[in-house]
Chains A and B, each alone.
Chain A
């Protein structure tokens, strides 16, 4: 029996002794081994042993949620006492609820035991490759971590899920330098359960290194024009996520401000676009298995051929609005590939930007965005002309989704999502 299960059994007894009839809780233990590099040298090794416990206590239809990292007997007693106090202070609201009985299950995912020596070898191999093949690139900071955890989740309807997981994560923060010339920063990373491929071949690492070296002589655009943005997979994923959270998530559906609140079954994006949450896709390293409300996680089509299929609704939001709950509280995003290669997409653009970074805030409820195009290149007559600096993009998220002109056959997988390149027209691109 796992240690966390023993603690959970003890917690059940305490809950029973406090006569709490309706509840849900999750307890977890985790361990992190993290290697930190600065300017290409190993600088710090960090170990973190962490615990977490959170409980939702219901007194009638009043709900209180509390959490903490002390799962000793004393800590668990405090969690219960705080949970009761929080529930007592809450308002009656029958929309707060927990999932019905989902049965019992144990999930095992990823690399449950690390090979730290191999991990360090892969990092050193990566550093050597960058030094040899990308001499102008400086790896300012890099983090390689192995995380593993064991969690258990139970509720008063009888559900019990236990999870064991482990994964490697590697990220880089890079710039390029040549004499006194320095580029801006760029970042990327990936998670993986195996160490069987060199890191240079993972996710978009090679593309990022190539593009930062090509960014040493950026040009500040003058004037403005309406053009096409060719989004790299990381940016395309970001635009889709911003659209879903802005136009179709719980808060905006509850208060009625979400632009897509009445658009289920309607065309909200180009028919070229199909988007789903696929936690069981083999390319996703650590897909969600149980939702925050206690449901067994399910796959979910969000947009199919441009048609909105569902909203991202929590159980509370679903109860509040009388709409169906989404049995998926993660964001394991998979975007279906298109029918053109990246090269064909590039060749078809008269004037626009290859968008490698979006420096801007979360757009407001109306979807208007205004951001600085980072790590980006001017496209003219189907070819990349130069890197750009001090260049802004302005438009509306909803319009970008509708104005998608092409999606690439190639997809990039970073362990958390699988996304192709996406081109969209009608974005205002401006400089000084």
Chain B
């Protein structure tokens, strides 16, 4: 883990500008077994220092792939020069955002390294379980990935701190064939926040997940195409989380609001049914650690929760310090960079639609003719709120009961119209945290949601 060798360099911060100095390390570990063959066996670390200087709205950023006091001096100097250089070409001139307090946030956790051999053994153990318990697969992949982040942040006029975000997962991927020989696939991510031993000392805990995945892919072997059209569906919790992130979350990022997103004219207006409340949680949900906790962002803003939609009304955006000032809101700690060379931009943290009162069974039994959409492999959204999620796992619902499995399909809609059709919300939340959000840089994010009954457009043959 990083040792604090940059604190003394805060003396070099210039007056009249806002400066943030960041020491940063990303660590990756990866192992992949493809049909039992070790096709990937890798480890890497990327470490460096960056500085960002805000000179009346013109920003200079510089980074070096060295973690030394000398590198800290160089990046402060280079970032300052970049801000001044760009100022000569830019018409920007803003009042620097006011400070919301200062202090130091202590190290929140540790990152524990694990020998590659142990990682490989764990993958082999899960691979053996699949071989023994999941016949009739045409292929299987067990893939371990760890991408932990370690940051030391010093700000000239805001909070400073030392924060880590360890996370690791084992993906189990299965491929089977339909009767006509067409391959179908499903995967499940096991693990989450923490180091290897936090997640994978007890592998037996994941056997039921593998059994469940196997049942679903055997169902999918017999799957049918969805019927294209505007349908009543029950979105599973993973789909609810994707909806929170893709369909709504991106439109309420203040940099995209400033660019013309649909959330601009929708502030303080109804954008969803009154059953929908959505929050971007900083680090704690229901009194427990959120999937990927954020305590301090890379501008030195202490992270707090950000309520985005309350009872169906759009009430807030996710901001950095500059946009918060522009929109008259409080920054809540969303400005983050993924690697040491990445400047902070507005990112989500743990974005979640809150649970309601119905049971999942009540939602499914209420649908006469529709679909139960359980899992998504990917999603994208647009400024207009038009979104797309790929559906990798789903079932028909006929007369309130689950029917045949679905082959891969896609759903789409316009978020602030679709959310108004939500008329039942389940009383539980499913979280996921294995993915990356892409917005210039990658970023680890958490997303969560309940089951929701709504109307949505589904693709099919």
Contacts and interface: CB of A to CB of B under 8 A. Distances in A.
Interface string B402-413: 000001111011
A106 interface: no
A291 interface: no
B62 A224 contact: no
Given A42-B89, A86-B43, A361 B386 contact: no
Interface stretch (B12-20, B53-61, B145-153): B53-61
B260 A177 contact: yes
B138 A257 contact: yes
B386 A372 contact: yes
A46 B63 CA distance: 8
Contacts of A389: 384, 386, 414
Interface in A174-197: 175, 177, 180, 182-185
Interface in A60-102: 63-70, 72, 82, 85-86, 88-91, 93, 95
B65 A51 contact: yes
A206 interface: no
A370 B459 contact: yes
Interface stretch (A10-18, A33-41, A230-238): A33-41
Contacts of B79: 47
B248 to A, nearest CB: 16
Contacts of A54: 44
B269 interface: no
B133 interface: no
Contacts, number: 238
A44 B59 contact: yes
Given A44-B61, A89-B115, A175-B260, A256 B457 contact: no
Q: Which of A69, A91, A93, A394 has the most CB of B within 10 A?
A: A69
A95 to B, nearest CB: 8
B181 to A, nearest CB: 9
Given A45-B61, A85-B116, A361-B390, A35 B86 contact: yes
Given A64-B116, A91-B38, A390-B457, A365 B407 contact: no
Contact of B34 (A143, A255, A359): A255
B412 A44 contact: no
B90 A41 contact: yes
Q: Which of A36, A39, A359, A374 has the most CB of B within 10 A?
A: A359
Given A184-B386, A374-B382, A70 B39 contact: no
Contacts of B461: 394, 428
A364 interface: yes
A180 B86 CA distance: 32
B61 A50 contact: no
Contacts of A51: 65
B86 A66 contact: no
Contact of B343 (A44, A173, A365, A432): A44
B35 to A, nearest CB: 5
A85 B41 CA distance: 11
A394 B459 contact: yes
A47 B78 contact: yes
A157 interface: no
A43 B92 contact: yes
B3 interface: no
Interface stretch (B182-190, B362-370, B445-453): B182-190
B38 A93 contact: yes
Contacts of B378: 360-362
Nearest to B230: A432
A148 interface: no
B138 A47 contact: no
B119 to A, nearest CB: 8
A21 B459 CA distance: 55
A65 B37 contact: no
A255 B258 contact: no
A204 to B, nearest CB: 19
A392 interface: yes
Given A67-B42, A183-B384, 14 more contacts: A38-B258, A45-B83, A45-B85, A46-B82, A48-B341, A66-B43, A67-B43, A70-B67, A89-B116, A93-B38, A120-B89, A140-B260, A141-B440, A371-B459
Interface of A: 32, 35-36, 38-39, 41-51, 54, 63-70, 72, 82, 85-86, 88-91, 93, 95, 120, 124, 138, 140-141, 143, 173, 175, 177, 180, 182-185, 224, 251, 254-257, 259, 316, 320, 359-366, 368, 370-372, 374, 389-390, 392-394, 428, 430-432
Interface of B: 34-35, 37-48, 57-67, 78-79, 82-83, 85-86, 89-92, 115-117, 120, 138-139, 141, 175, 182-185, 228-230, 255-256, 258-262, 265, 341, 343, 377-378, 380, 382-384, 386, 388, 390, 407-410, 412-414, 440, 457, 459-461
28 contacts: A32-B341, A38-B258, A41-B90, A42-B86, A43-B57, A45-B59, A46-B343, A47-B62, A47-B79, A48-B62, A68-B45, A68-B46, A69-B47, A86-B43, A124-B89, A185-B382, A254-B34, A255-B34, A255-B139, A256-B139, A316-B39, A359-B412, A360-B380, A363-B408, A364-B408, A372-B388, A390-B412, A390-B414
